[in-house]
Amino acid sequence: MRYTGDLLIELLNVRKGYGSVEVLKGVNLRIEEGDFASIRGKSGAGKTTMLRIMGLLDPPDEGEIKLFGIPASRLNDDERSKLRLHNIGFVFQFFNLIPSLTVRENIELPLALAGIRKEERRNRVTELLRYFDLINLAERFPDTLSGGERQRVAVMRALANNPRIILADEPTSSLDDENSELLMDLFRRINREKRVAIVMTTTDLYEKLPTNRDFVLKDGRLTEFL
Ligand SMILES: Nc1ncnc2c1ncn2[C@@H]1O[C@H](COP(=O)(O)OP(=O)(O)O)[C@@H](O)[C@H]1O
Ligand SMILES: [Mg+2]
């Protein structure tokens, strides 16, 4: 099911730790329609932990996460998976493409999981790759692509189900400057033209990004810098 409304993600006093170590010490955040947000923090600050909670992959120890106003704690595993599949796209640091599948097949995968028929899958992927000028990569295998191309394909896969939100965990950390810029251009287009909210993490505390909101995660707390 797809949800409408301006408030996409809300974290309310979220706490999370591993063993006796508290990583998130009461994090609050609201992500709205149209936002392109960065969450910046040093290695070990808790960025991945926070993103996994936002994507309903892990529950918080305390506090609440709401997607489209729905408290995640009220959903069962199946409902959470469906909400995730239809509304959130993930991009990881190391792409996570499947080596034995072509670019096209990799991007089709979430569509197959959503039960979409083969012909429609093909059409949608072709349209997506054409729109972003990546159609020439369609029949290639991941190990024939550069790092930058792999990451752009991973973004296409995240977009395949027309999500309302993309969560990207250090998507530029394994890319050179030129490919990082290309990726940021791609995110900016997705954000503006497809109206997909983007939340990305980075260890770069000061780099100028095409974001409209920037946060720092430090000592378990999140602060927005304005
Ligand atoms: N599954 C886990 N078990 C135990 N400790 C973890 C686990 N995941 C993360 N941590 C610890 O939590 C802290 C924050 O990790 P993480 O969220 O991955 O930070 P970041 O993504 O900002 O580098 C780190 O000290 C890390 O070692
Ligand atoms: Mg991390």
Q: What is d(CA 107, CA 30) in angstroms, rounded to the nearest whole number?
A: 29
Which of 100, 161, 97 lies closest to 125, judged by CA? 161
Distances from the Cα of 200 to the Cα of 121, 167, 188, 217, angstroms: 27, 6, 12, 12
In angstroms and rounded to an integer, the radius of gyration of the C-alpha atoms of the chain is: 17
Q: What is the mean pLDDT of each run of 10 residues along the chain (226 residues)?
A: 76 97 97 96 98 96 96 95 93 90 96 93 96 96 96 96 96 94 96 96 94 97 93
The domains found in the chain, sorted by start residue, are 7-225 (3.40.50.300)
Q: Please report the pLDDT score of residue 5 as a whole number.
A: 64
**Strands across the sheet with 62-67, in order?**
21-32, 7-18, 62-67, 70-71
What does the alpha-carbon distance between residue 157 and residue 124 come to, in Å, rounded to a whole number?
11
Measure 49 CA to ligand 1 centroid, in angstroms: 6
Cα 70 to Cα 56: distance, rounded to the nearest angstrom: 12
Structure tokens at 132: 């972003």
State residue 93's pLDDT score. 85
Number of C-alpha atoms within 13 angstroms, CB side, residue 96? 12
Structure tokens at 101: 């599948």
**Residue 1 carries which side chain, given as an amino acid letter?**
M
Give the residue, by CA position, lying nearest to ligand 1 atom 24.
Answer: 44
- Cα 63 to Cα 71: distance, rounded to the nearest angstrom: 10
Q: Determine the pLDDT at residue 226.
A: 78
Question: CA 134, 140, 144 angle in degrees (round to 5)?
Answer: 105
Label the pairing between strands 221-225 and 213-218: antiparallel
Residue entry with tokens 């197959």: 112
For ligand 2, the distance from its centroid to the CA atom of residue 47, given in whole angstroms, is 5
**C-alpha distances in Å from residue 165, one per residue of 35, 52, 226:** 9, 13, 22
Average pLDDT, the chain: 94
Tell which one of 21, 23, 27, 94 to mutate to probe ligand 1, the residue whose CB is within 8 A of the most ligand atoms: 23
142 DSSP 8-state letter:
G
pLDDT in tens, 71-122: 999 999 999 999 999 999 999 888 789 999 999 999 999 999 889 999 999 9
